[in-house]
Amino acid sequence: MNKKPFSPIIAGTMSWGVWKKNLNTNQMIELMNCCLENEITTFDHADIYGGYTTEASFGKALSESNIERSKIQLISKCGIQLESEQRGNTVKHYSYSKEFIIWSVEQSLRNLETDYLDLLLLHRPSPLMQADEIAEAAERLKKDGKILDFGVSNFTPSQSDLIGSKTKISYNQIQFSVTHLEAMLDGSLDYMQIKNIKPMAWSPMGSVFKSYNEQTQRVYKKGTDLSIKYGVPVDVIILAWILKHPAGILPVIGTTDPIRISNLMKATTFELELQDWFELWTESAGERVP
């Protein structure tokens, strides 16, 4: 089966289920179609979303929609074990045995009512993970056609090297935004370009619309000035800031608002001018760049 390219902006499903919006089946179908109408074809999941329930809710909606599986891409993550009586977990932890990774993927496939994942990500690194076991699981799942590609999430360069020494890592989903600059400054994004690892960014709006502090006020003010210049909302400016980075970052957006989804796709239609990009970085840092 051929790998399909991911959309330049990815729909994150963490808030679709009981953790926040609690969308019903028809609402999920409407939201899926809204994404597709705006050329967002890639949907990002994790087994834990909704306390292990959101994948199944999405899968039910997908099966009742008229959406062809070949027209979309499904990403999921495994490894985080939440406290759960059903799973016998008394403490939050990480599990990356070969048997667990394969079992978790098979659970996600059943829940999503699909035969394959376009991408499997290890959700967070564990100090106890064994690269050989992880590689065996990834290669087995690829061979069986249950995943088309493999990657990690929230991994440092050295952690990526550990796993990458045994099996190919194609993606790393990290926290990155105009208010969370660490990956740009600590070498993580440089490393991914060297290793041909495609970055994804979760929480791409950062804290601009979540926190009211000196940093977010500065960024929002500059974003407002630029929104007038470019004729788009402030959140589109913030997304365009990410998209300008040469690593080719794929932002994972969490909104379920159809109007905002349509607006955010405008970030793919223009590029911030060089000095505008650096002005946003300057306002985030609160000082001139080094």
Active site residues: 49
Identity of the residue numbered 91: V
CA distance 254 to 40: 12
Residue with tokens 């899926």: 32
CA distance 281 to 6: 27
Identity of the residue numbered 261: I
DSSP 40-57: --EEE--TTHHHHTHHHH
CA distance 206 to 51: 24
Residue 212 is classified by DSSP as -
Residue 114 is classified by DSSP as -
The β-bridge relationship of strands 250-253 and 150-153 is: unpaired
Neighbours of 81 (CB within 10 A): 20
Measuring CA to CA, which residue among 222, 190, 219 is closest to residue 207? 219
